[in-house]
Chains A and B, each alone.
Chain A
Amino acid sequence: MSFTGREFWGVVHGMGFGALFLLAFGGGIAGFYSLRQELLTAAGVRERMRRLRIGLLAMAVAAWGTVITGTWIVYPWYRDKAATSPRSQLLADPSTEQWHTFGMEWKEHVAWISPILATVVAFIALYYGVNLIKHERVRKTAMALFVLSFAIAAVAGGFGALITKVAPIR
């Protein structure tokens, strides 16, 4: 039971950074949602914000880790010119070529928007700190960007998982 080097990096990209980002979203959105004046004491706000800031920063790092490892380590193996590369295999069969021409082409580009948005959300939490609770409008804006970042990552991650199923990198 072992991984090749390529499979290892595929796991780091998708199940390490990628899954960490997607799984942490639930905690982040719950933290934002409950960050309301009527629900928290001063001590509660401070504790919540510390957790939220660390969580959002970790999510932004995970999002950057996902796209950087995906683009610069895993993707060159995927698009290798060899007939055995996943891209070549997908394009060789009309029944699978859309996994590349639509799925991979969309995923490889759109994924990069997610860490940009995740970084903005982390910046908002770091910039305002506990004072974020005074800014209902900013909190809702951050939540909107946070959900969008997640949705884009989910599209990219979903296609990544499916493409790996059809044509794994070995």
Chain B
Amino acid sequence: MGYAKQEEVLDSFGTDKPEGPISASILAAGIGSLALGVLTTLAEASAAVKEFLTFNQGVGPLSGKTILAVAVWLGAWGILHPALKHSPFESRKALILALIMIALGLLLTFPPFFQLFASE
């Protein structure tokens, strides 16, 4: 298939969409991952936070950490999506920012790290 034909194929797919909503979803994922890490370390550092996050006795503080992290993720997505809906915000830029937040989230959920902050 020649180059001109390929262009026709792409045109046949109709109107394109802006990249902003993609970036919004990626940034929100980074924020949610970071929130999970922050809550994990805070729960380790403070008995009061750990108790507050125990939404369910069977599951323990993991219940609050995960419910709130998902709420933060969805909330961030809900705010960023309309804000970037018509924006050409590049997904690569969003990916870099999100990867930094995800890396921090991974560090803050890594036991040898968050256990450094363990309360007595």
Q: A residues touching B (Cβ–Cβ < 8 Å)?
A: 37-38, 41-42, 45, 67, 71-72, 75-76, 79, 101-102, 105-106, 108-110, 112-113, 116-117, 119-120, 123-124, 127-131, 133-135, 137-138, 141, 144-145, 148, 152
Contacts and interface: CB of A to CB of B under 8 A. Distances in A.
A148 B12 contact: no
Given A116-B32, A131-B17, A141 B26 contact: yes
A37 B91 contact: no
Contacts, number: 107
A37 B33 CA distance: 33
A152 B59 CA distance: 21
Contacts of B98: 145
Pairs A-B, 7 closest by C-beta atoms = A76-B58, A109-B109, A105-B111, A42-B9, A141-B91, A130-B13, A120-B29
Contacts of A72: 56, 59, 63
B94 to A, nearest CB: 8
A110 B33 CA distance: 9
Interface in B1-29: 1, 6, 9-10, 12-14, 16-17, 19, 21-22, 25-26, 28-29
Dominant SS at the A interface? helix
A145 B29 contact: yes
Given A102-B111, A106-B111, A116-B33, A71 B9 contact: no
A138 B25 contact: no
Interface of B: 1, 6, 9-10, 12-14, 16-17, 19, 21-22, 25-26, 28-29, 32-33, 36, 40, 56, 58-60, 62-63, 65-66, 69-70, 73, 90-92, 94-95, 98-99, 102, 105-106, 109-112, 115
Contact of A112 (B6, B69, B111): B69
A123 B25 contact: yes
Nearest to B6: A37
Given A113-B106, A138-B19, 17 more contacts: A37-B9, A38-B6, A42-B13, A45-B13, A75-B62, A76-B58, A101-B111, A109-B62, A117-B29, A123-B25, A131-B16, A134-B16, A137-B90, A138-B91, A141-B22, A141-B94, A144-B95
B26 A134 contact: no
B98 to A, nearest CB: 8
A14 B37 CA distance: 24
Most interface-central of B26, B73, B90 (chain A CB within 10 A): B26
